[in-house]
């Protein structure tokens, strides 16, 4: 008894000799501390919970060591131990893992570990809530500048990402994060991987939109409940991947360098669709230096299909410089395009007495800024055989709408692709012919549909809007159908052409899946042609 009293007295007397340290190992990693008392009680303190440890006379087992005072985070009251009460003290090194915020679908890699973070709450999904991995964990995780450092003893849940695009799985051990159809189960874990265990992932700025394939609900954090769930609203979450992110090419599908591109440096312009890389295609860009400032400007570009003797698309930009209406007289200088192979280019004879108009794709009315630009629109490569009932009516009205958009206050540059169907199309899930049954003078094919792909850029807000326009190529007014206004995604599905491929992929994915009709009507156009 006297010995214990003496040690307690020494403990008090030697407080001034305490050494204060944070509980860390020799290599500066934090440690968990486990204390086994002589009465058999085992107590564990996690590194994330400890502010500091103060030793009196030294650490356990050292000569002259008396005891320790443990200070927990947020507490001014210490927990005191005399070494005479302790049978053993062990330290377990706490390692850390670094995770990096994912902001782009191209940074996603299956097979890696991810955490679901709520930056605004300074924590991540983990722990247990109703026996699922849904609770917010703030201890053992540090968030700063798009990086998360997670201690090995943290209750943050690590998810292994599997599956493929729009069918990802988030696996924890042998189970999958799931969102059954009905409440109140919400987010749970499942041993199977059906539709309720599959997720689509997209991104808006730094936020991850993780959507369940079956219920179509997104994962959010709920402040009031203090947990994560899949529902319709809540606080946005972020997705972090283990390790650093290799800088991703945020434009993996742009028109890339190859022998097909060497002759045309303009294929990186935003108006270009993805070209068809084969020996049957030719490309040409019409340029002008007619502005008198010593610079060369692109007028328009096109891809020509030599096997079909047909224009695959014409693309160009409309801006304040080239959309000025200065030239009032049409050149009407229809002529062959000598930049295309002689045997496979269209000629004046192809149209003569055919009953078809030489239908412009880049119209002369879009190029009235200089005489040279307007004159270049009369190359036959910039045309498709059109019934005049379509060319002079619906198509002409749509071309007027395009000019109206280009002149609107919210559009600084309009990127335009105009084309017609020269092969099969996919409509309502069925493959159909893209050609009319007639031929133009038995040499040129006649498209069944004409279409436009439009991309409007607003400089002040640095935003894009996109829209596809689809028209049936009718021969008589009685055949007329209203134009269809569709997303670029839908237009790509119908035609098999990848439009605006030179946009960064995250922007392309966003604008091509959206049709904001209020934007286009706000530009002053009629969506009922």
3-state SS, residue 375: helix
Topology agreement, domain 96-242 and domain 273-522: no
Decide if pLDDT at 128 tops 60.
yes
DSSP label of 411: -
Identify the band that residue 10 occupies on the pLDDT scale cut at 50, 70 and 90: very low
Question: Can you tell me the distance from the alpha carbon of 403 to that of 148, in angstroms, rounded to the nearest whole number?
Answer: 49
More confident: 244 or 16: 244
Its pTM stands at: 0.60
Nearest of 168, 179, 9 to residue 84 by alpha carbon: 9
Q: Write down the pLDDT at residue 28.
A: 59
Is the four-CA dihedral 192, 196, 197, 200 of positive or negative sign?
A: positive
Does residue 454 contact residue 469 with C-beta atoms inside 8 Å? yes
- In this model, does residue 311 exceed pLDDT 80? yes
Over range 83-98, report the average pLDDT. 92
Q: Are 456 and 416 in contact (CB under 8 A)?
A: no
- Alpha-carbon distance of 40 to 377, in angstroms, equals 93
The answer on pLDDT for 20 being more than 80 is no
pLDDT at site 46: 85
117, β-bridge pairs: 124, 238
- Does residue 66 register a pLDDT over 90? yes
Q: Distance between CA 467 and CA 416 in Å, rounded?
A: 10
User: pLDDT at residue 15 above 50?
Assistant: no
Model confidence at 8, pLDDT cuts 50, 70, 90, reads very low
Given a cut of 90, whether residue 19 has pLDDT beyond it is no
Is 520's pLDDT higher than 50? yes
pLDDT tops 70 at residue 307: yes
Q: What is the pLDDT of residues 371-397, one digit of tens each?
A: 999 999 999 999 999 999 999 999 999
Res 249 pLDDT > 80: no
Q: Of the candidates 501, 495, 494, which has an alpha carbon nearest to the alpha carbon of residue 415?
A: 501
Provide the pLDDT confidence category of residue 259 given band limits of 50, 70 and 90. low
Mean pLDDT of the chain: 90
**How far is C-alpha 141 from the geometric centre of its chain's CA atoms?**
27
Per-residue pLDDT at 48? 76
> Could you tell me which of 471, 273, 286, 288 has the C-alpha nearest to residue 391?
471
Range of weakest confidence among 58-72, 308-322, 458-472: 58-72
- Return d(Cα 212, Cα 454) in angstroms, integer: 31
What is residue 225's predicted lDDT score, i.e. its pLDDT?
76
Mean local confidence (pLDDT), 269-282? 92
Fold adopted by 273-522: Extracellular Endonuclease; Chain A (3.40.570)
Strands 113-118, 96-102: pairing is unpaired
Confidence check: pLDDT of 69 > 60: yes
pLDDT average, residue stretch 445-460: 97
**290, 284 Cβ separation under 8 angstroms:** no
* 246 pLDDT above the threshold of 80: no
Confidence of residue 25 (pLDDT cuts 50, 70, 90): very low
518: three-class secondary structure by DSSP:
helix
Of 506 and 444, more confident:
444
For residue 87, pLDDT beyond 60: yes
Tell me the mean pLDDT in the region 158-185: 86
Q: Which stretch of 11-15, 114-118, 157-161, 289-293 has the lowest confidence by average pLDDT? A: 11-15
Nearest-CA neighbor of 25 among 200, 112, 175, 152?
152
CA 415 to chain CA centroid, nearest Å: 20
How many angstroms separate the Cα of 436 from the Cα of each of 358, 422, 432?
16, 10, 11
Phi/psi for 196 (5° steps) reads -75, -10
Confirm if 280 and 263 have CB atoms less than 8 A apart.
no
Classify 490 as helix, strand or coil.
Answer: helix
> Which residue did the predictor score with more confidence, 258 or 241?
241
- Asked whether residue 65 carries a pLDDT value surpassing 50, the answer given is yes
The answer, yes or no, to whether residue 62 has pLDDT greater than 50, is yes
Asked if residues 469 and 495 have their Cβ atoms less than 8 Å apart, the reply is no
Angle at 142 between CA 140 and CA 143, to 5 degrees: 145
Segments making up each domain of the chain, as ranges: 2-93, 96-242, 273-522
The span from the CA of 529 to the CA of 518, in Å, is 16
Average pLDDT (214-228) is 87
- Spell out the CATH class of 96-242: mainly beta
DSSP percent split of the chain into helix, strand, coil, nearest 5: 20, 40, 45
Residue 164 bridge partners (DSSP): 167
Q: How far apart are CA 123 and CA 155, in angstroms?
A: 11
Q: Strands of 319-443 (E only): list them.
A: 357-360, 383-386, 413-420, 425-427, 430-432, 435-440
Q: What is the pLDDT of residues 329-359, one digit of tens each?
A: 899 999 999 999 999 999 999 999 999 999 9
Q: Assess whether the previous peptide bond of 184 is cis (omega < 30° from 0).
A: yes
Structure tokens belonging to residue 494? 């119908």
CA–CA–CA angle 511, 516, 521 (5° rounding): 130
The pLDDT of 135-149, averaged and rounded, is: 93
């Amino acid at each position: 008894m006297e010995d214990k009293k003496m040690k307690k007295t020494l403990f008090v007397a030697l407080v001034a000799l305490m050494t204060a340290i944070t509980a860390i190992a020799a290599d500066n990693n934090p440690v968990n501390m486990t204390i086994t008392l002589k009465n058999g009680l085992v107590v564990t303190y996690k590194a994330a919970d400890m502010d500091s440890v103060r030793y009196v006379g030294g650490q356990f087992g050292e000569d002259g060591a008396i005891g320790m005072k443990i200070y927990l985070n947020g507490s001014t009251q210490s927990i005191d131990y005399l070494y005479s009460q302790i049978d053993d003290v062990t330290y377990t090194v706490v390692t850390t893992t670094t995770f990096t915020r994912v902001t782009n679908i191209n940074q996603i890699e299956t097979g890696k570990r991810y955490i679901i973070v709520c930056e605004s709450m300074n924590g991540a999904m983990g722990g247990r809530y109703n026996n699922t991995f849904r609770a917010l964990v703030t201890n053992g995780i540090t968030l700063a500048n798009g990086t998360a450092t997670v201690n090995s003893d943290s209750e943050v849940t690590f998810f292994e990402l599997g599956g493929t695009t729009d069918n990802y799985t988030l696996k924890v051990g042998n189970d999958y994060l799931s969102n059954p159809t009905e409440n109140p189960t919400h987010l749970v874990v499942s041993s199977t991987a059906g539709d309720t265990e599959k997720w689509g992932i997209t991104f808006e700025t730094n936020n991850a939109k993780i959507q369940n394939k079956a219920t179509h609900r997104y994962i959010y954090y709920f402040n009031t409940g203090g947990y994560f769930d899949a529902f319709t609203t809540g606080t946005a979450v972020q997705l972090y991947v283990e390790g650093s992110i290799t800088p991703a090419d945020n434009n993996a599908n742009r028109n890339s360098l190859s022998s097909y591109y060497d002759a045309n440096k303009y294929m990186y312009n935003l108006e270009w669709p993805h070209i068809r890389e084969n020996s049957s295609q030719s490309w040409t860009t019409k340029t002008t230096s007619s502005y008198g400032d010593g610079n060369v400007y692109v007028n328009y570009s096109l891809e020509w299909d030599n096997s079909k003797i047909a224009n695959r698309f014409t693309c160009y930009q409309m801006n304040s410089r080239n959309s000025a209406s200065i030239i009032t007289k049409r050149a009407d200088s229809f002529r062959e395009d000598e930049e295309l192979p002689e045997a496979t280019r269209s000629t004046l004879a192809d149209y003569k007495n055919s009953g078809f108009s030489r239908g412009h794709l880049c119209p002369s009315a879009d190029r009235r800024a200089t005489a040279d630009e307007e004159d270049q629109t009369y190359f036959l490569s910039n045309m498709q055989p059109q019934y005049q009932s379509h060319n002079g009516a619906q198509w002409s009205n749509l071309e007027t709408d395009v000019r109206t958009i280009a002149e609107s206050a919210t559009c600084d540059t309009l990127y335009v692709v105009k084309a017609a169907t020269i092969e099969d199309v996919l409509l309502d899930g069925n493959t159909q012919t893209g050609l009319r049954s007639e031929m133009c003078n038995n040499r040129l094919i006649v498209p069944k549909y004409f279409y436009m792909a439009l991309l409007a850029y607003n400089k002040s807000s640095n935003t894009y809007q996109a829209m596809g326009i689809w028209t049936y190529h009718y021969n008589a007014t009685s055949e007329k159908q209203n134009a269809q206004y569709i997303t670029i995604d839908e237009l790509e599905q119908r035609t098999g052409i990848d439009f605006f491929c030179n946009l960064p992929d995250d922007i392309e994915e966003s604008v091509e899946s959206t049709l904001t009709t209020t934007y286009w009507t706000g530009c002053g156009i009629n969506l009922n042609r």
